[in-house]
């Protein structure tokens, strides 16, 4: 059961045990983690965050970088809990947080806004450019249409490009603070994907030459 004090409300997350802060200010709703499982400490954090926000001396989003990642993950999992997503999807996301994020990142300061923006850009480009190109190219190539080979070749070019980008970034970030990953899967999977795409490009080029 949450308690309401001075315009804000503190509730305990049933899954993580971390207390969350909720309030409204200037028409916006704020749902934030206090980053602690101690009720007394949560009250102190909540009161400070609320006072700073109302007075205009601070923004809750500026404190996200200092929050433990498990608190951020708990908030996210709570926000997408079933029935918003299926039970299987939610369990997959839970395991992803446990096995992929937590071993490498402890605090949100290791996940910068610029890094998030770049990965969002890649994901958005995949959705609106790469996946449609690949799908249309595969269909066109299967139907032996000349335009299909062109579009498929464009998609394969991207398929060669992005593994190189990821591998180069992983190698360059080896000495970066907070960057702790096992590169072995990268060096197995990504070169395989790039080699497959390059082989596909060569096959398309050969087929185009024979068709002339």
**Residue 134's pLDDT is what?**
92
Q: How many helices (H) and strands (E) does the chain have?
A: 7, 4
**Residue 46's pLDDT is what?**
81
**Residue 73's pLDDT is what?**
72
CA distances from 128 to 53, 90, 118, 139 (A): 37, 25, 16, 17
Helices (H), 30-145: 39-55, 69-79, 87-96, 113-125, 131-142
For the chain, residues with pLDDT lower than 50 are 1-5, 61-65, 109
The Cα–Cα gap between 122 and 135 comes to 18
The Cα–Cα gap between 137 and 60 comes to 46
**Residue 190's pLDDT is what?**
92
CA pseudo-torsion sign 96, 101, 106, 108: negative
pTM as predicted: 0.49
Please, what is the angle between helix 87-96 and helix 69-79, to 10°? 170
Around 86, how many Cα atoms within 13 Å sit in the side-chain half-sphere? 3
**Residue 64's pLDDT is what?**
46
């Amino acid at each position: 059961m949450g308690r309401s004090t001075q315009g804000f409300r503190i509730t305990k997350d049933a899954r993580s045990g971390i207390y969350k802060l909720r309030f409204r200010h200037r028409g916006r709703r704020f749902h934030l983690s206090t980053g602690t499982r101690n009720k007394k400490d949560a009250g102190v954090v909540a009161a400070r965050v609320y006072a700073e926000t109302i007075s205009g001396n601070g923004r809750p989003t500026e404190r996200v970088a200092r929050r433990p990642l498990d608190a951020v993950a708990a908030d996210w999992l709570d926000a997408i809990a079933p029935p918003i997503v299926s039970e299987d999807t939610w369990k997959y996301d839970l395991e992803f947080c446990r096995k992929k994020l937590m071993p490498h990142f402890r605090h949100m300061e290791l996940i910068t806004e610029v890094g998030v923006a770049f990965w969002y850009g890649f994901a958005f480009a995949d959705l609106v450019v790469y996946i449609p190109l690949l799908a249309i190219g595969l269909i066109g190539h299967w139907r032996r249409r000349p335009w299909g080979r062109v579009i498929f070749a464009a998609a394969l070019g991207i398929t060669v490009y992005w593994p190189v980008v990821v591998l180069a970034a992983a190698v360059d970030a080896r000495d970066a603070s907070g960057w702790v990953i096992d590169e072995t899967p990268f060096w197995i999977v990504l070169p395989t994907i790039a080699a497959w795409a390059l082989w596909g490009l060569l096959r398309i080029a050969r087929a185009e030459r024979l068709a002339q």
